[in-house]
Chains A and B, each alone.
Chain A
Amino acid sequence: MPILNSAADLEKLRQQILDRDDRKRVVSVTNGTDGRTRNSEAVVQAFINEIKKQGLAGKLIVKSTGCHGFCEKEPTALILPEEICYVGVKPEDVPEIVSQTLAKGKVIKRLLYEDPVSGQRITRESEIPFYKSQNQTVLGNNRFLDMQKIDDYIALSGYSALARVLSEMTPEQVIEEVKSSGLRGRGGAGFPTGMKWEFCHNAEGEPKYVIVNCDEGDPGAYMDRSLMEGNPHSVLEGLLIGSYAIGAQDGYIYVRAEYPLAVENVDIAIRQAEEYGLLGQNILGSGFNFKITVHRGAGAFVCGEETALIASLEGRIGEPRQRPPFPATSGLWGKPTNINNVETWANVPLIINRGAKWFRSLGTERSKGTKIFSLVGKLQNTGLVEAPMGMTLGDIVFNIGGGIPDGKKFKAIQTGGPSGGVIPESLLNTPVDYEELSKLGAIMGSGGMIVMDEDTCLVDVARYFLNFLAGESCGKCVPCREGIYQMLKILDRICEGNGREGDIELLEEIGETVRDFSLCALGRTAPNPVLSTIRYFRDEYEVHIKEKRCPALVCKELISYYIDPEKCQACLICLRDCPAEAITGDKKIVHVIDQEKCTKCGTCLEVCPPRFGAVTKLDRVKVPEPVRQKREVVRK
């Protein structure tokens, strides 16, 4: 490969790539971690084989891409330039796609996305309701890029922002541009990125370091993974621009070990960038040198915290330390260090290319640009969503997420991962904005969003998140280690029907101490799920404690499974499937659950044929006495 010595060389290369790929039809198959769980690798291979077999090699390009967002419909095959989008593609569909669509341009109706509301088949990807209200500026290029090919990135004007920065801008001008864009850290705290860079730029001490934080640990969140897998060069380019502005020559990418494909793709990306001279010595002939090292994490959630991450990089136990001093003045090996999250870095080339003014035009007064969310839970459409800041939670849930399936009612949305807060229906018109979410006792966090329907018990939800955090607290400081433990014990007790008068107040008191006295952000935000559920759903806690009832019928100790003798058709299915052998009955004899033996696994409810619907969940206190004599079933 030719070494690029100037911005002009880069532009020349881009023209060559464009000429080479001109007028070829492209099929983009999602083949990230999410696609691979549904056999996408076989789909990609099938396309390659089939194209050869049908003699179309050289006329078509198959791209193995990262996630486009709508992961639950993957693998998807997007055919460009027509933008025909096939969802849930299987290897056996491929011959037909090649012979009909790729060769003749004919659309195969059965593979198109079907709108669950209207029942209509939708041809173009951008017309699918899930994508329609999104604004995918950061994530959007995933669909045009083969994950492991730098040429695809360069074809989309990749590295042109770097070329411009190196040839036309001073480090101070770059910092000024990022500052004026209003970009804030996407990892959770929302600190202004330009200011962070400036602190590090002005800090005394050499060398300086830059770090990409890809230790994305929130359960169910995978924004950073999708960027790292699908568009690693956008992160590298952002990092290069930042290190030029800050004055660093060494960068580290800290990726969690649970992201093998992200590690693989970023390794390939680094190698390819080096081959073009976009990394290494004298980049684009500018005299600027930069080297990147990839470091895999060892599986601790707390290492997403920047001081713990630095400790881990240095080979020490991943435990946070008190700030100040901030890493900007004393970070890796005690030197000035700048850490940003993957998504923050990926925003940088866009800001340089399109200008701070463009970036400022998106979003609210204090939160600019777009944010990627992982929208999951009880929704019609789940996946990665990129929306401009300021979109309301309600719009995200109902317009993009398509609302709640099965005719259920919306109950709450949890934002910001395990240490985020729960927001009730009455506040769904809240715009997504760092300050607005904090006001409600929630956080933006790294962008997790979990939607819950009426069948969710919020005491149980708080317990779930606290249990996660209890396992991930490093144990260094007292409030986090001991406080989370005590709160968890109280929540356990409430969910088991042993809650006491005063427990809610005790939870609040411990929670406030943990929030105000903990060393790092993990502890300081850990009480959020508890405090926010108490704030908006206090009555639910009270019912658990005073009436020993779980209104949503979730907490196992507070419910019973019951077979309605009027509806039971004595089909023996539940009786046979019950793992605790707690169901008695016989052919023609109504089945009865022995409440003493029942482990409340819910199998009977699952297996009872819907046309009978005889098994129900009841409050433990409400179960009718079993019928004494064995009753014969009334056949309907």
Chain B
Amino acid sequence: MSKVTLIINDTEVKADKGATILEAARVAGIDIPTLCSHEKLTPYGACRLCTVEITKGQRSQLVASCVYLVEEGLIVNTESEPVTKGRKMLLELLWAHAPGVQALRRYGTKYGISAVRAGMDYGVIPGISSTRTKFDIEPTFCVLCGLCVRYCAEVKRRNAIGFIGRGTEREVVFLPEIASEECPLCGEECYPLCPTGALPLHHALIKAEYSS
């Protein structure tokens, strides 16, 4: 396979033609935060944490590295000022949505986000955060990365779990008719994918509901 040479954070990197910037960076040992990418799944580009700054000639641009393919001579900065500024805001927004879940704490430590600033609206999960503000949607553990949904669809081809709702009402749900048949056969392969660790609990609740 032909190779492409690009520069990531001042280091020359050789990557396979057709690889994404994220893949090229990983091969070179450069860590780019991400919540929704997985090697077995089609790139999704939803969490936007992997956004990096690319420069081609005079033009700089912010792109999601999990879906942007490498190009010859491309200059990539994975931690430039606009990148980290936005990434911190994304973490903060996610934190407000799913306060302090496992995956966010990991990146939170790196980028100095351990809470949501005053003035943002966020939920409360007992034992994790204690400040209460007005909250319209229920606090959740789910960051809506869609790994479970896409794994079930793309790898298992079962579609036992899916998204419902639009915008802020988006939710991940097990579809009882399919899940009750398919999930026991699959062996819960989606559980370890969940970056928040909340999926097994969610499934247990659903199982309790449809067995009753």
A517 in complex: contacting residue of B51, B163, B168, CB < 8 Å: B51
Identify which of B117, B121, B163, B168 contacts A470 (C-beta below 8 A).
B168
B119 contacts partner chain A, Cβ-Cβ < 8 Å: yes
A502, B89: Cβ atoms closer than 8 Å: no
| Residue from A321, A324, A489, A519 with most neighbouring chain B CB atoms (10 Å) | A489
Q: Which residues of B contact A490 (CB under 8 A)?
A: 119
Q: How many residues of A contact B (CB 8 A)?
A: 35
- A475 and B168 within 8 A (CB): yes
Q: Which of B151-188 contact A (CB under 8 A)?
A: 163, 165-170
User: In B80-96, which residues have CB < 8 Å from any A CB?
Assistant: 82, 85-86, 89-90, 93-94, 96
Bound together, the chains give a CA A481 to CA B169 distance in angstroms of 9
B25: Cβ under 8 A from any A Cβ: no
Question: Which one of A161-169, A350-358, A508-516 is at the interface?
Answer: A508-516
Q: Find residues 118-177 in chain B having any chain A CB closer than 8 Å to their own CB.
A: 118-121, 136, 143-144, 163, 165-170
Which residue in B48, B86, B118, B167 is a CB contact (below 8 Å) of A474?
B167
Known: A477-B48, A482-B96, A519-B46. A317 touches B163 (CB 8 A): yes
Partner of B69, one of A324, A484, A486: A324
B47 lies within 8 A of chain A by Cβ = yes
Interface pairs (26), CB distance under 8 Å: A322-B67, A322-B68, A470-B167, A471-B166, A473-B167, A474-B170, A475-B165, A475-B168, A476-B46, A477-B46, A478-B47, A478-B94, A478-B144, A481-B167, A481-B170, A489-B136, A490-B119, A500-B118, A500-B119, A503-B119, A506-B117, A506-B120, A512-B86, A513-B93, A517-B51, A517-B86
- Known: A502-B119, A513-B90, A517-B62. Is A475-B45 also a contact (CB below 8 A)? no
Query: Which of B46, B85, B163, B168 makes the CB contact (< 8 A) with A485?
Result: B168
The interface size of chain B toward A, counting residues with CB under 8 Å, comes to 36
Q: What residues of A have a CB within 8 angstroms of the CB of B62 in the complex? A: 516-517
Interface positions of B from 35 to 77, Cβ below 8 Å from A: 43, 45-49, 51, 62, 64, 67-69
By Cβ-Cβ distance, the 4 closest A-B pairs, closest first, are: A475-B170, A482-B93, A322-B45, A322-B67
Q: A516-B62, A516-B82 are in contact. Are A479 and B165 (CB under 8 A)?
A: no
Q: Which residue of A lies closest to B61 (CB)?
A: A516
Instruction: Take A490-B119, A513-B89, A517-B51 as given contacts and tell me if A474 and B45 are in contact as well, using a CB distance cutoff of 8 Å.
Output: no
CB within 8 Å for A519 and B168 given contacts A482-B96, A490-B119, A500-B119: no
What residues of chain B lie closer than 8 Å to A477, measured between beta carbons? Answer: 45-48
- The answer to whether A482 and B97 touch across the interface, beta carbons within 8 angstroms, is yes
B113 to A: closest C-beta gap in Å: 13
A193 CB within 8 Å of chain B: no
**A209→B169 CA distance, assembly (Å):** 34
Closest-CB distance, A503 to chain B (whole angstroms)? 6
Q: Is A472 an interface residue (CB 8 A)?
A: yes
Residue of A nearest to B170 (CB): A475
Q: How far is the CB of A475 from chain B (nearest CB, A)?
A: 3
Do B166 and A474 touch (CB < 8 A)?
yes
CA distance A482 to B136 in the complex (A): 13
| A residues 427-444 in Cβ contact with B at 8 Å | none
Interface assignment of A89: CB less than 8 Å from any CB of chain B: no
A580 vs B166: C-alpha distance when bound (angstroms): 35
Cβ contact of A478, chosen from B46, B82, B117, B167, cutoff 8 A: B46
A316 to chain B, nearest CB (A): 11
The listed residue with most A CB atoms (<10 A of its CB), out of B68, B97, B163, B168, is B168
**Distance to closest chain B CB from A300 (angstroms):** 7
A518 close to B (CB within 8 Å): yes
Contact with B along A389-416 (1 / 0, CB 8 A): 0000000000000000000000000000
How close is A172's CB to chain B, nearest CB, in angstroms? Answer: 28
Residue of B whose beta carbon sits closest to that of A482: B93
- Asked if A483 lies at the interface with its beta carbon under 8 angstroms from chain B, I say yes
Within 8 A of B (CB), among A454-512: 470-479, 481-486, 489-490, 500, 502-503, 506, 509-510, 512
B87 and chain A: residue at smallest CB distance: A517
